[in-house]
Amino acid sequence: MAAGLIIVYAIGPRAAQSEGIDGDFYFSGQLKGVFASILFLLLGFFVPYDKFGKYGKAFTVFSLVLCFLTAALGRAGMESLVLCDEGACRAITLPILGSFQPAELLKVAVLFYGAWLVTDRRKKNQLDKSEFWVPMGVIIGAVAFVVAFMEKDLGSTAVIYLMLGIMMFIGEMPWKQLGLFGIVVAICVVLLIMIAPHRLERIAGFNGEGDNFHIMNSLIGFGTGGAFGVGLGNSVQTTGYLPEAPSDSIFSVVGEAWGFFGSVVLLIVYVVLLMRIMDVARKTADEEKSFFVLGVFAWILAHVIINVGGMLALMPMKGITLPFLSHGGSSMLCVSFAIGMTLQISSWTKREAIDEDSSSRRGERGARYAGGRRRT
């Protein structure tokens, strides 16, 4: 978050000037987002997991309805209530708080519901039965229709599918059913790409056959940065050449300003964070909470891979944020809440380990004491 503040503070005025908006727009928004995200992180840390977990199904339904209403209001032309960009209406406008993307809230909801569903059906040995696949199929279909088709947000759809897939894979779902899940998801993604001209254009741009303005300027940024970068105050790509520089394209800004080594350091920070999250999932005794943490791992991993891969032209460009770094409050708020919940689960895991260790030592002392008395 601190790195994001520094970058947005340095490039925000230039980016805003090129777009004809107030020079403090990006930094003030980023600063508010960081403070709000810290509050959400504390909320996730202090409010017990079960207070949220038991409402996972209702939370998911509510989030899907909110996503549907956002897209429907946008299609109805009520752009005073929603925020639309190039025909995609993904954010609802809230008084005082500003805009918020319900798809980010849906990711949190799916974390809770997916973790409960996989854990419950796993205990009942129903991961390969209709008791699991009916609700899971409803989630897959609803997310494809509401988020990918109506909101035109294929990136968030892919992230949700990956979260669920990781949970099922670690949950030891039979390979046959896991393969079926992969086939169904692949068919949904292909169909969603084929019916959307803008997605076909992105793939064509990735193949060098269409409009590759965004990809080329991203690569120019990395090439200009070289090994150690040109410095934040000397960025050229943020003056109107690089689309969405403070948000979706911020990794390219890092490459230009801090160079190859700065980019590698940033990626190492993400790797360390992901390793710590996986460690929490591995050590958590409660299966449902462990699956929740695995979902958080998949969420952050997917965002990093899709964002960085697009900026480096390793995969088709997709508008998705880089966690904690990109300008944009919705993503930062929700992922911070998920990290706060992960920290809570981690703290209980440590307490359980300490309690078990203390019990073990008490047992050893008791055995020695008893042995001493028998010898007497």
Give residue-wise pLDDT tens across range 134-146: 999 999 999 999 9
pLDDT for 369 equals 37
Instruction: Give me the residue label for tokens 């960085």.
Output: 308
Q: How far apart are CA 132 and CA 199, in angstroms?
A: 32
CA 159 distance to own-chain centroid = 7
Amino acid code (one letter) for 270: Y
| 11 neighbors 256 (Cβ within 8 angstroms) | no
Q: Got the DSSP string for 21-33?
A: S-TTHHHHHHHHH
Average pLDDT over residues 146-162: 92
Average pLDDT over residues 319-332: 88
pTM of the predicted protein model:
0.89
CA 352 distance to own-chain centroid = 29
Give residue-wise pLDDT tens across range 178-192: 898 899 899 988 898
Question: Higher confidence at residue 362 or residue 269?
Answer: 269
Q: How far apart are CA 266 and CA 259, in angstroms?
A: 11
Instruction: Give me the residue label for tokens 């319900």.
Output: 102
